Chain A
């Protein structure tokens, strides 16, 4: 187990623009740390800098407490799983697994022992004699995993290792990777652009956008208390619905469109300083208006029945919103439905900076349950 610390790290490829800026984070020993963000935000670059495959333009990297900026990749105690697996196509699975051990001149007996051990752990024993092209995508993925485990490096870096797999296999491998990480006590830094992977696997998540840290926190923290509108919209599926609105200080209301007003409680009025705000609401927090004041009469544009829940899409101010209702609902496209927006579950963001001014009250709507036996 080793700690990885990044202090004020920046990266620039062309000396003009920074691809990554001012990255400060400390990854704890044995932690499963997920780096998530949209395509091109610099996730791979950051991971490759930690691995030593890319120079660090500015800032300091510490691995296990030692300054590591200038260490060669092999001296950093890491293993790396590439998105395309980077298996050697001319070598068999077994040769692929022990390639690194051979390079480090580990004796043959031990090499074989470790190879068998790892292959057994990942169910690769029947395939040891095959070449990578004779394997399915999932099996290849496992070989890549085996290669990283067999090195016994305390830190494991993975760059979108599941993105080439189909949905079912992906969810299977998710839990498998997580279990292996726990069992071996690896410090894992895991890159993905898939927020579901981030939410389900990470002990902590770092959301990155355009080379800047948006938020670091555990999955529920990030979901319930997004630091800004970007995080709010990036995490969650379907994403949080956002709409520009105005805050009227005199009337103490939030005005959406022209005639929809939501009353703001007195103790919150102080916190909201701007007039122009962005209002956000999670799809699961929009309800059918029964006895409450109706805020919107919406027209349904799409319905997806998923069995245990139903996702209904509609348009507000030429933006598509969606809401997620529990259970199965028989709703037709074109139906008009009254909905209400409760102030408690609204998130409010500054319209210029996107910073959160108020988060939805988590405990009112989704209480975090605990099992006590």
Chain B
């Protein structure tokens, strides 16, 4: 708003200016608020309220309906610290993250690189490689349930051709977590592949041509061009995969139900069991809080140490 101050009326004007400028100062904020309102409402109902409720519940013992019955302070957390079962769950979760995240990313990156070649019929491969993205957790888990079947499963049959003894994929405690990891990597591949392929296709072809004229080898191009140019995409996909790994639930529920001997009792599954099977909403909430801080810390660390290496154009 433009206010012209002319000499005669100089004395009277400041009051009006103050009034106007108060309105105009807040105008932008009020407009912004209006735009934000839908997300604020949605987030409040579906994220913030449950979050605070979880924090609140973690300080209580609850009845079977999940209503707070008795305030116990930090006892739920103390219980977790001593709980053998929770330790196992944390360990399984960390191992699971370690197994799935790097292998998912490397596999998808490899597939994306070979699918980025301009060849006839490459579209078929791109579709195939990304196809697991369109499959639900339930459907993929069922597929793997069959593949892992100890006697009629395709994997053990294949092994028997090479005279390798049948493996009890989902029943043997030393194999179950690996089986779940294999399933998860397979499920991750589609989405990760698609995102990385998109990132690769954004890299200017001329950069590679220029490098080949300079006599750069495949690995040199990979190290000096592909990885740095892909770093924002890689950073994004690593973050997403990491968080997803911490939150894995569906495949555990369908394939192993947390067993055998709690070897696949990943933390989210553990929370689910605690809350909806044992009706211990208090300790379940406490576990959820622990998970929240786990993810928070890992993400902060990632941003702190990972983002430095990311090159944004």
Contacts and interface: CB of A to CB of B under 8 A. Distances in A.
Interface in A25-58: 51-53
Contacts of A89: 229, 311, 313
Nearest to B209: A53
Interface string A57-88: 00000000000000011100011101010101
A73 B206 contact: no
Contact of A100 (B204, B214, B217): B214
A99 B215 contact: no
B228 interface: yes
A176 to B, nearest CB: 21
B224 A79 contact: no
B248 to A, nearest CB: 34
B212 A133 contact: no
Interface residues of B, number: 19
Given A99-B224, A100-B216, A103-B216, A86 B313 contact: no
Interface in B197-256: 204, 206-207, 209-217, 220, 224-225, 228-229
A86 B214 contact: no
A80 B210 contact: yes
Contacts, number: 60
Contacts of A104: 214-215
Contacts of B229: 89-90
A79 B209 CA distance: 11
A84 to B, nearest CB: 6
Contacts of A99: 211, 214, 216, 224
B235 to A, nearest CB: 14
A82 B208 CA distance: 12
Contact of B213 (A79, A90, A133): A79
Nearest to A159: B206
B209 A80 contact: yes
Nearest to A76: B213
B159 to A, nearest CB: 43
Nearest to B313: A89
Contacts of B207: 86, 88
A103 B215 CA distance: 6
A103 B206 contact: no
B213 A73 contact: yes
Contacts of A78: 213
Nearest to A81: B210
Contacts of B210: 80, 82, 86, 147
Given A86-B209, A88-B225, A74 B313 contact: no
A51 B213 CA distance: 8
A209 interface: no
Contacts of B228: 90
A242 B204 CA distance: 43
A228 interface: no
Nearest to B212: A73
Contacts of A151: 214
Contact of B214 (A53, A84, A90, A103): A103
B214 A82 contact: no
Given A84-B206, A86-B206, A88-B225, A103 B211 contact: yes
A84 B212 CA distance: 17
B225 A103 contact: no
A91 to B, nearest CB: 8
Contacts of A84: 204, 206
A90 B216 contact: no
Contacts of B225: 88
B215 A100 contact: yes
Contacts of A88: 207, 224-225
Contacts of B209: 53, 73, 80, 82, 86
Nearest to B207: A86
Interface in A91-116: 91, 99-100, 103-104
Nearest to A144: B210
A277 to B, nearest CB: 46
Q: Which of B209, B212, B213, B214 has the most CB of A within 10 A?
A: B213
Interface in B289-311: 311
Interface string A150-163: 01000000000000
B217 A86 contact: no
Contacts of B215: 74, 100, 103-104
B212 A74 contact: yes
A345 to B, nearest CB: 45
Nearest to A85: B206
A80 B211 CA distance: 10
Contacts of B217: 103
A360 B224 CA distance: 57
A18 B77 CA distance: 76
Nearest to A82: B206
Contacts of B220: 103
Nearest to A95: B224
A331 to B, nearest CB: 48
A80 B215 CA distance: 12
Nearest to A153: B213
A90 B227 CA distance: 11
B313 A133 contact: yes
Contacts of A147: 210
Interface of B: 204, 206-207, 209-217, 220, 224-225, 228-229, 311, 313
Interface of A: 51-53, 72-74, 78-80, 82, 84, 86, 88-91, 99-100, 103-104, 133, 147, 151
19 contacts: A53-B212, A74-B213, A74-B216, A80-B209, A84-B204, A86-B206, A86-B209, A88-B224, A88-B225, A89-B229, A90-B311, A91-B224, A99-B211, A100-B211, A100-B214, A100-B216, A103-B214, A103-B217, A104-B214
Given A73-B213, A103-B217, 17 more contacts: A51-B213, A53-B209, A53-B212, A73-B212, A74-B216, A79-B213, A80-B209, A80-B210, A82-B209, A88-B207, A99-B214, A99-B224, A100-B214, A103-B216, A104-B214, A104-B215, A151-B214
